Amino acid sequence: MEWTTLAATGLGALVGVGSTLLADRVRWRRERAERTRQERKEIYVTCLTKYRQAYEDMYAAASRPPEGVAREAAVREAFRASGCDEVRESALICAPQALSDVLETVYETLRDLLEVLARGEPPLDSPAFQERRLRHGKAVWAARAAMRRDLGLRG
C-alpha cells in the first residue's frame, strides 16, 4: 500500500469526522436556541396570564369583597395570591432589557390599578377608572408586540 493512499484515507476520515462534529455543533446550537425561545415563550405567556388573573381577581374583590373583609384587604390579598410578583421576576431575568422595560410598564399600570381598586377611588364606573384600565390595556398590548418580536414571531 502506498503512503499516498494511506494519507488520503486518513485525511478523508479526518474530514468526515470533522464535518460530523461541525454538523452536530450546529444542530446543538439550533436546538438550544429553540429550547431557550420556548422557555421564554412559556414565561411570557405565564406572566401575561398572571397579570390578567391578578386584575380580574382584584376587580372582583373590589366589586364585592368577601363577607367581613375590608375592600382594601381583599384587593391586596387578590394581588398577592395571583403570583404575578414571582412570574414578573422570572420574566425580568430571562427577557432582554428592552422587553424588561416594557414588562415593568405593564407591572406599574397593574400596581396603579391595585391602588385604585383598594381605595375605591375613582369609582369603578367612572371615566377616570376606565382611563387607567385603558392605560393598562395599552401596556399589555405593547408587551405582547415586544414579546412577539423577541420570539421572532410575525405580527
Indicate the pTM of the whole model.
Answer: 0.79
- What is the predicted pLDDT for the residue at 155? 57
Mean of the per-residue pLDDT values for the chain? 88
Residues near 70 by Cβ (< 8 Å), separated by ≥ 6?
none
Cα–Cα distances (Å) from 49 to 38, 76, 128, 139, 143, in that order, read 16, 18, 25, 14, 12
pLDDT tens, residue by residue, 43-78: 999 999 999 999 999 999 998 876 667 989 999 999
Lowest average pLDDT, out of 23-27, 30-34, 36-40, 116-120, goes to: 23-27
Q: Which residue has the higher pLDDT, 17 or 131?
A: 131
- What is the predicted pLDDT for the residue at 1? 58
- The pLDDT of residue 138 is above 80: yes
- What is the predicted pLDDT for the residue at 32? 81
pLDDT tens, residue by residue, 14-30: 767 677 767 767 777 77
Q: Which residue has the higher pLDDT, 5 or 146?
A: 146
Closest CA to 79 of 48, 56, 54: 54
DSSP line for 64-101: SPPTT--HHHHHHHHHHHHTHHHHHHHHHHHS-HHHHH
- Tell me if residue 123 falls in helix, strand or coil: coil
Closest CA to 152 of 9, 38, 14: 38
Our CA angle for 148, 24, 38, nearest 5°, is: 20
Residues near 75 by Cβ (< 8 Å), separated by ≥ 6?
58, 61, 62, 65, 114, 117, 118
| C-alpha cell recorded at residue 153 | 414571531
pLDDT tens, residue by residue, 78-89: 999 999 999 999
- The pLDDT of residue 39 is above 80: yes
Determine the Cα–Cα distance for residues 120 and 40; give it in Å rounded to an integer: 36
